[in-house]
Homo-oligomer: A and B are copies of this chain.
Amino acid sequence: MKKIFPLSKVYSLLEAGPVVMLSTAFKGRNNVMTLSWHTMIDFNPPLVGCVISDRNYTFEAVKKTRECVINIPTLEIAGKAVACGNVSGRRTDKFSVFGLTPEKSAAVKAPSVKECYASLECRLADARLAGKYNLFIFEVVKARVDTSVKDPRTVHHRGGEAFMVAGRTIKIKSKMA
């Protein structure tokens, strides 16, 4: 069950580099794609940069609706996440085909993915580099996280069919800090 999560801590969900599922609602249809090319840009309000190819159906959906949800899957649904990354939403209802549940979001019309442990509701903040680099900068306006998930087994793309599953969490103190 997801609860509201402080925006100032959103960076801790994303900077480990998990595969994410980006969901949109466009022309009356829900859609979801999978990507690994994202980075935090600023802490608070949290800004996130995402590369979305202009060959993807989501590119137009994001440009037109100016919102999306960045959902973070774990190992349990990694197969579905990868499948969503390999088929276009132009002609496929991926939520239905892959057995994912659209969940009402709190601040945007785009649906969240219920099966993901975290959902970051975003508004498009800057599309200046969308033309040249397919790079969109989103502001996270609401974050909802299932905080019962400790050490989430996020998946991290190593190229091709290879994915690294999140290992153990350790503490590293800096002697100089």
Contact = CB atoms under 8 A, between A and B. Distances in A.
Interface size range on A against B: 35 or more
Contacts of A170: 78, 162-165
A49 interface: yes
Contacts of A40: 36-37, 51
A129 B109 CA distance: 29
A42 interface: yes
A86, A169, A170: which has the most chain B beta carbons within 10 Å?
A170
A52 to B, nearest CB: 12
Given A9-B159, A12-B157, 8 more contacts: A11-B159, A12-B158, A15-B158, A40-B51, A86-B174, A164-B168, A165-B168, A165-B170
A99 interface: no
Interface string A6-17: 000101100111
A102 interface: no
A65 interface: no
Given A37-B39, A165-B170, A16 B51 contact: no
Interface SS of chain A: mixed
B157 A162 contact: no
> Of A159, A171, A172, which is in contact with the most chain B CB atoms at under 10 Å from its CB?
A172
Interface string A60-80: 000000000000000000110
A81 to B, nearest CB: 8
Interface string A145-177: 000000101111111111111111111111111
